[in-house]
Chains A and B, each alone.
Chain A
Amino acid sequence: MQSRLFNQFILRRMAQERTRTLTTVVGIALGIAVVLAIQLTNASSVRGFETALTSVAGRTSIEIVGTGGIDETRLPDLGWLRAFGGMSPVIEGEMAIVGSGPDTPQQGSSTPSTRTERGFRAPRTEAVKVLGVDILQDLTLRDYALGEVQGGSTPAGSKPEGSMPEGSKPEGSQHEGSLTSQQFLELLTSPRAIVITEKLARRRGYALGDELQLMAGDRVSTFVVRGLLKDEGPAKVVDGSFVLMDIAAAQLAFDRLGRVDRLDVQLRGDGRAADEAAATAPGSAEIDAALAAISARLPAGLTAQRPSRRGEQVERMLAAFHLNLTALSWVALVVGLFLVYNTVTISVIARREEIGMLRALGVTRRQVLGLFLGEAAVLGLAGTLLGIGLGRVLADAAVGLTRSTVSTLYIATAASTPALAGWHIVLAFAIGLPLSLVAASLPSLEASRVPPTAAMRGSDRLESRVRLRAAVLVAPAMVLLAALALAQLGPVDGRPLFGYAASFATIIGASLLVPAFIFLLARSLAGPLRRLLGVEGLLAHANLAAAIPRLSISVAALAVSLSMMVAVAVMIGSFRDTVAYWVGQTLQADLFIGPGLQPTVGSEQTLSAPVIEAVEAHPGVEAVDSFRNIDLVYNGNLVVLGAGNFDLVLSHGSLLFKAPADGREALRRAIGTESVVVSEAFANKYGTRPGDTLTLQTPQGPRPFAVVAVYYDYAVDRGVIVMDRGTFRRYFGDLTPTGLAAYLKPGFEPERVRAEVLASLDEGHRAFIYTNRDLRAEVLRIFDSTFAITYALEIVAIVVAMLGVGATLLTLVLERQRDLSMLRLIGAARRQVQRVIVIEAALIGAASQAIGLVVGLALSVLLVYVINVQSFGWTIQFRVPVTFLAQVSIAVIVATAVAGIYPARRATRLVVERDE
């Protein structure tokens, strides 16, 4: 009975009201899709790192690491580690394949890669993960499934003339199967020998014996493909972008002579065949015990950890960025739920008489409730299904928008969006369905309370006018006070959870104030609207004033998404101004020189001597500051440790100091002593002040350093510690620099010096040189691309809210069908009625935007002074982008007016009562 009633009463009507049903389904779908897309996007940035980590880790249970790597001379002292199991020293990093593949004739040139003016943006540059190992030791930890190999007798590089078509085998090539460790070793003996994956070879058209140019830092070297790896073990790194070479070759290529990055240890007892090992992998307790035992014996400066630790560190580093995106993605969903409320409300209003009739015929209240909740469930289900499909599409767009941010500021990321996992689908239904039901609960309850007498036409339809009672202000006032209190609380585990709670409370409090606000607005606008817009203004105003309770929901929904837009615009505008000011103040050098390959976490890129010499040798260069950055684990988090020449910073550069007042004097005192300056982000994150002492992990063990100053920095949110180069050298050795800043003599054109330095480099060296002006522009370009995703999310939320306004107007139009018909009967022209509705739409837009501006400014204060400080630790100068906000306001009013066009058309239908 109930299902038949549902079919006849709800489903049939939904099919008839196609526009409304579709709008709602699309609204929910967009909300769900955005949430899923952001989940996938966040996963994609961590996944790239983690899949690389786990596939490279192999059977490694414990790794030994040290700040800046491990000095090779210490390895013999670690022989006791063999008691725990097999071990293998490792060099791991990133290189770029430069130039096109050997058999890509479209290049039309005998030289496969031509250096661009900038120095490294050659065609088809692709990053690859490079692992340098001592293959004999490493075979116990990692499985390399060699496919094709080049015969050991074939000298490296002696490939046949011309390039080989895919699939053909060069002389001496053989299939693995019987390859011994010894033969594998011989394969890699040459410092130019590499093994790549079959996938990579296929993708770029390489065959055995082909030469391959790889760039590490600023150095381009030529390697020869000696073997191809099947898609197993470390070769499974994303898209097969993996290169294996001998550890000595890797040290040379990465300029890490005398150092290894880490020592991988496989606990004994799991060193049998690979499949067996999986079954007998050491348990967590075993690893913990071994970790404790190893840590106790490790010399100062070295740390033992699980390989997954690095993944956790990266995840933590990205947490703030991800949390911000997740919070934003929920806005679209919340706005989508307002649509469900709207639609079910329309359904209930339009069918009051029918509900009354059903009640008169004996349908119970509970059944009526069930019917309308069922409608919401159908909408939620359809929206969720569509949202899952749409989520995948949006995720690709979102990954595209965030990839450059993540890889520029944090880590090299996966090239593709991860597939939807089962739990994503569960998540979609877990939020889509229940929330749709919650959104529909109020109107459904309203439906269940419709009395049987409503069946009689017009018996209860006279609306009462809305009055404002002071009591309705109590709840919002209390919520807003709570928001104020929450904003005062500190972060939880480095996350601004109370800050988000304060924002949420502000939004709720403001939404509760919406009816009162509209009421006051309506009262003050009555006269002006009538004077300005004539009888249509009078009618539009009267209609809106009477519908305040209904309208409040839509206005609140639109106002919420607009307020987020305003808040984000103010935050980004302020941030951008601050960064521009900071860049202007601190970037003083005339040229900035970096390696051709950009460094990311876990992949340092350095400058080599020829490049440094070329810069220093130029007659126009007055002074060169070299700096070196390394990743340092501080309190379990990754921070950047930098070394620079403080003397030069004092004479030529300019840091903006936050504390103490005389930062330059503090910097002067830091030269030659165990002192550091820290960035503001670091100071905020770890509560550090000048005068504090930091204990840093140096190769000689933990050492105390005095903090002498805090400076402003907007480049690295995980925090930077900087020490003078002399101090750095004492503790971390004489590491090659990661960047140079050159100051020119008066009269020398930076552009010309840059071109001359680049021209003086040989084919094997590629530096990236920015002039001061270029770098400032680049900083702001990176800044803008970082926030592209933010605007994209905002726009989705606003589109959904606009759908909501359209739907609400449709509600109001249906609700007032009789009144509107009556207007037409007493002589209102079609166009007059339409104008009334469009004016109403524009008024809704204007009211929403007015509220959005006020609430948005409040939220932006929270974003700038609470959330941003707690998640990134940056001081931002508060600025209001007045012009932008004015433009947005006009756009919103126009857009809502447009959203009113369809309801306006519906409004002019002349409904004449049929003969009684």
Chain B
Amino acid sequence: MGMPLLSATDLTKTYTGGTTTVRALDGVSFTLEAGDFVALMGPSGCGKSTLLHLCGAMDRPTSGRVVLEGRHLAELTDDELTKLRRDRIGFVFQFFNLLPTLTLGDNIALPCLLGGMATAEAEARAARLAERVGIGHRLRHYPQEVSGGEMQRAAIARALVHEPALLVADEPTGNLDSETGARVLALLAELNREMGITILLATHAQEVAAASGRVMRMKDGRFASAESAPSAPGAIALPLPDANAVPAV
């Protein structure tokens, strides 16, 4: 195997507020290979969101280094980090974070438009991905006109529209009911399997972690343990017994 997609070495992150200092990450190291589906698990405040932010080029570590596709993130300027996020990383959040003022179609096309792609091409891509995640009929709707599951599908489509190397997802099912959550999870697993997208996902739901290829448990800013899912990355079975029975709408 060649160079890993992402390697994090000895990452620490401290937040200082007034006289108190909080150490959110405390010497974390790990690697991600292309096509991995890794779940970060742990209780609230264990540092998993912080780790996602550092890996997603959203924030800089206090010490240690992150290398994504051979590039040291610490050496990049703010503009270069922005470009890196725009071109190589996709984000999915707990609260969907769609712009309420844009249609789902425009929301999905946004990363391409921001990257300077022609409108027609961006819209065509958005339509293809919307179709792929099962919301092709909702392109002209606004976020508040669709269900939570549909919003998260749109968010996933937006995260993938520019064909990123890495998808970072922070509690993607945390704001959904369990049935809808299961469908979204199934979709992520399917995309990982069929499109080979590398996924780094933070959750504290056991069943979500179970859908991933590898689970890394965190506690107090460190890894507690790492365990592999039964199947190899790219060929995992859906963990929820009834997941396949749910229509993908």
Contact = CB atoms under 8 A, between A and B. Distances in A.
Interface stretch (B31-39, B63-71, B83-91): B83-91
Nearest to B175: A458
Contact of B53 (A462, A822, A832, A912): A912
Nearest to B106: A538
B172 interface: no
A546 interface: yes
A817 to B, nearest CB: 12
B24 A827 contact: no
Given A465-B142, A826-B111, A913-B49, A546 B86 contact: no
- Report, as a range, how many residues of chain A touch the other chain: 20 to 34
Contacts of A534: 113
A832 B143 CA distance: 23
Contacts of A535: 110, 113-114
A818 B15 CA distance: 20
B48 interface: yes
B97 A819 contact: yes
B144 A462 contact: yes
Contact of A830 (B44, B78, B119): B78
A826 B46 CA distance: 25
A463 B110 CA distance: 19
A462 B100 contact: yes
A826 B45 contact: no
B79 interface: yes
Contacts of A830: 78-79, 82
B115 interface: yes
B125 interface: no
Given A534-B113, A830-B82, A915 B100 contact: no
A886 interface: no
Contact of B15 (A464, A530, A914): A914
A545 B79 CA distance: 29
A914 B49 CA distance: 8
A829 interface: yes
A827 B111 contact: yes
Contact of A538 (B24, B79, B102): B102
Contacts of A538: 102, 106, 113
Contacts, number: 95
A825 interface: yes
B136 to A, nearest CB: 21
Interface core residue of A822, A827, A910, A912 (most chain B CB under 10 Å):
A827
A910 B81 CA distance: 12
B82 to A, nearest CB: 5
Contact of B158 (A818, A824, A826): A826
A530 B110 CA distance: 13
A916 interface: yes
A910 B53 CA distance: 12
A534 B115 CA distance: 11
Contact of A819 (B85, B99, B144): B99
Contacts of A543: 101
A671 interface: no
Given A826-B114, A827-B86, A912 B59 contact: yes
Interface string A18-61: 00000000000000000000000000000000000000000000
Given A464-B144, A915-B50, A827 B115 contact: yes
A585 B56 CA distance: 79
Contacts of B99: 539, 542, 819, 822-823
Interface in A859-916: 910, 912-916
Contacts of B83: 827, 829
A535 B117 CA distance: 10
B101 A465 contact: yes
Given A827-B86, A915-B24, A545 B101 contact: yes
Contacts of A463: 100-101, 144
A828 interface: yes
A464 B83 CA distance: 31
B58 interface: yes
A825 B44 contact: no
B58 A910 contact: yes
B84 to A, nearest CB: 9
A912 B58 contact: yes
Given A542-B99, A912-B58, A826 B113 contact: no
Contact of B47 (A545, A829, A913, A915): A915
B110 A826 contact: yes
Contact of A825 (B48, B58, B142): B58
Contacts of B87: 827
Nearest to A832: B114
A824 B142 contact: no
Interface string A514-548: 00000000000000001000110011001101100
A309 B84 CA distance: 83
Interface core residue of B15, B56, B100, B142 (most chain A CB under 10 Å):
B100
Interface core residue of A534, A822, A832 (most chain B CB under 10 Å):
A822
A542 B102 contact: yes
B79 A825 contact: no
Contacts of B59: 912
A531 to B, nearest CB: 9
B91 A825 contact: yes
Contacts of A829: 79, 82-83, 114
B114 A827 contact: yes
B143 A546 contact: no
A916 B49 contact: yes
Contacts of A826: 85-86, 90-91, 110-111, 114, 158-159
A241 B162 CA distance: 83
B66 to A, nearest CB: 15
Nearest to A534: B113
A539 B78 CA distance: 22
Contacts of B49: 913-916
A829 B119 CA distance: 18
Nearest to A535: B113
A916 B111 CA distance: 27
Contact of A465 (B15, B82, B144): B144
Interface string A223-258: 000000000000000000000000000000000000
Contacts of B162: 827
Contacts of A539: 99, 102
Given A826-B86, A826-B158, A818 B44 contact: no
15 contacts: A462-B143, A465-B142, A535-B114, A546-B101, A822-B91, A823-B114, A824-B82, A825-B58, A827-B83, A827-B85, A827-B86, A910-B58, A915-B45, A915-B46, A915-B49
4 closest residue pairs by CB, A with B: A827-B86, A542-B101, A535-B113, A546-B101
Given A827-B83, A828-B86, 9 more contacts: A462-B100, A463-B144, A542-B99, A825-B58, A826-B90, A828-B82, A914-B15, A915-B47, A915-B50
